[in-house]
Structure 1
Amino acid sequence: MLVRLLYASRPAEQNVCDVVQSILQQSHAHNPQNGITGVLCHTEQVFIQVLEGGREAVNALYGHILRDPRHKDVVLLDYEEIQERRYAGWTMGQVNMSRVNPSILLRYSPLPVLDPHTMSGKMLMALLDELMATASIVGRI
C-alpha cells in the first residue's frame, strides 16, 4: 500500500542552505533502498516535505524526522493512501520556494507569505500541484 505524507517544520539552525544539503544527501542515500520518493520545499524560515512510499517505510522515516535535531515545530499536515505517486521520478526533489509569487500564495493562504503552519494540508498540496504544473517550481533528483 502506498501513502503520501505531508509535513512542515522550521529549521533548527540558521544556516538553512547547509541543513537542506544535509537532508538531501541523507535522502539520496536512504530513500531509493526504501522505496521513498518526494520533494523538499524550503524557504529560510520553513521546510515543507512530501514523502511517498510504502506505509511502513514512510511512517518510519517520519518518526526519524520527528526526532531529527535539524527540525523544530514539526506538524503533520496530510496523510493519505494513494493509488500512484506524484513524485515517482524524484528520490528527493529540492525546491527553493523563496521566490514564489505572492499572488499565487494568496489563492491558497490567508496571507501572501508561505506559512504552512497556517494552511490546511489539502490547500498546501493544491499549491504545490499548481506550482509544479505551471513550472513555477522545478526540483532536481
Structure 2
Amino acid sequence: MLVRLLFASRAAEPAAATIASICQHSQPRNAERGITGVLVCGDGVFMQAIEGGRAAVNSLYGEILRDARHRDVVLLHYEEITERRFAGWTMGVVDTRRINPAILLKYSERAALDPCALPGQASLALLEELVATASIGRA
C-alpha cells in the first residue's frame, strides 16, 4: 500500500550546506527504500512530501523526528494513495529563488513559505503548484 506524508519543519541551522547534507544522505537511502518525494526549503523552513510503502514512509518520518537538523516538525497531511505524484525524484528540491510570490499569496497571508499556517490540503496544493512552476533539482 502506498502512502504520502507531508510535513514541515525548521532547519536547526539554516544554511545551504544543511540542505546539501540532507539530500546527499537521503537520496541513495530513499532509492533503496522505494521512497520518492520533493523538498522545499526557504528562509530556514522545510516542507517535504514523501511517498512510498506505508512501513518505509512511517520509518523515515520517525527518523526525521529524531534528526537534529530538523526542529519543530509538524505533520501536515497523511493519506493512502493509488499513485505517486513525485515518482521522478528520490528527493527533488524546489529552487526557492524561482518561486513567484503570487503563488505563496494564493495560499497564505504573506508571500513567505509558512506551511504550518495552512491546512494540510492547502499545503499539499501549494507544494504541487511549486513543483509545477519552480525549477526542480537534485541539490
TM-score normalized by structure 1?
Answer: 0.92
Counterpart residue type for residue 123 of structure 1? A
Runs of 5+ in structure 1 lacking a partner? none
Residue 135 of structure 2 corresponds to 138
Percent same amino acid at aligned positions? 57
Superposed, 1:61-80 pairs within 5 Å as 61-80=60-79
Secondary structure at the aligned position of 2:137 is classed as coil
Counterpart residue type for residue 5 of structure 1? L
1:59 equivalent to 2:58? Answer yes
Secondary structure at the aligned position of 1:117 is classed as helix
Aligned-pair distance for 1:140? 2.5
Residue range with higher mean Cα deviation, 29-38 or 106-115: 106-115
Residue 121 of structure 1 corresponds to 120
Whole-Å separation in 1 of the counterparts to 2:131 and 2:95: 12
Paired residues of 2:13 and 2:44 also in contact (CA < 8 A)? no
Runs of 5+ in structure 2 lacking a partner? none
Whole-Å separation in 1 of the counterparts to 2:97 and 2:12: 18
Paired residues of 1:42 and 1:97 also in contact (CA < 8 A)? yes
1:10 equivalent to 2:7? Answer no
TM-score normalized by structure 2?
Answer: 0.93
CA RMSD of aligned residues (A): 1.3
Cα shift readout 1:14-72 (whole Å, capped 9, x = no counterpart): 3x211101110111120111000001110122011100000000000000000000000
